Structure 1
């Protein structure tokens, strides 16, 4: 039987909650804004449209991986550039995310959360894939 510490449970709560948020944001880009709408938004910011597809894929698959606890450190590290991009996209809207267009406080905070998960790891109740653990070591 595995014994978990309070830190393990805290990491699990952070991992699962942030995974749910990523999944929700990715699905919102698909179902509410639509994929063409998201591509158009990215292009309106001067970004290439293909980054919208990569962002949606990262948010949906990354969210699922975080919920399950698969390669948490690696997934969280990979999601940091997505969040830094969101911070940049909202930077002209001021600090508060409740302002028009959403400010940069929320995506920057979320970046810190992902960096914290890189340090903490999966915590309790994570899916362990032996082949990934062998290949990635502590990042699995």
Structure 2
């Protein structure tokens, strides 16, 4: 189970990292324009691209696995309901559903012993 979680975490993290990197390298202003064209405020492109880029790296390292997985799930739900549903299952929806399932799994399962989360102890405020 833990090795399976590691594989899902690495693949999901890398996938989101590459999507975030593509948004920044492809011109974030173009992405902001696309967001506006589908009814999402343009500034959200910066938020989403930042979460994808930085979050992808952190997820691969195993830091903040549950929180990042929830953020990725929210991004995917937004993409599904604003763009992908109309494209159909084989028009791109299938990838988002698989990534959403991976995100939900990791949000529920959390990190494993192969994650930095398991090495970092956070003390609760007294």
Q: Which of residues 43, 46, 61 is equivalent to 1:68?
A: 61
Residues 70-110 of structure 1: per-residue CA shift (max 9 Å, x gap): 0211210121110111112211111113xxxxx32211221
Residue aligned with 1:96, SS: helix
Q: Which of residues 13, 20, 23 is equivalent to 1:26?
A: 20
Contact 1:11 1:122 in 2 (8 A): yes
- Give 1:12's aligned residue: 6
TM-score relative to the length of structure 2: 0.89
Report which of the two has the higher share of helix.
2
Gaps of 5+ in 2: none
**Aligned mates of 1:56, 1:108 — CA distance in 2:** 19
RMSD value over aligned CA atoms? 1.3
Contact 1:19 1:63 in 2 (8 A): yes
TM-score relative to the length of structure 1: 0.81
Gaps of 5+ in 1: 1-6, 98-102, 136-140
Q: 1:124, CA displacement in angstroms?
A: 3.4
- Give 1:110's aligned residue: 99
- Give 2:109's aligned residue: 120
Residues 23-82 of structure 1: per-residue CA shift (max 9 Å, x gap): 0000011112x1001001101111110111111011011101110000211210121110
Any residues of structure 2 matched to 1:82-101 within 5 Å, and which?
82-88=75-81, 89-97=83-91
**Aligned mates of 1:70, 1:87 — CA distance in 2:** 26
Q: Is residue 2:47 matched to residue 1:58?
A: no
Number of corresponding residues? 121
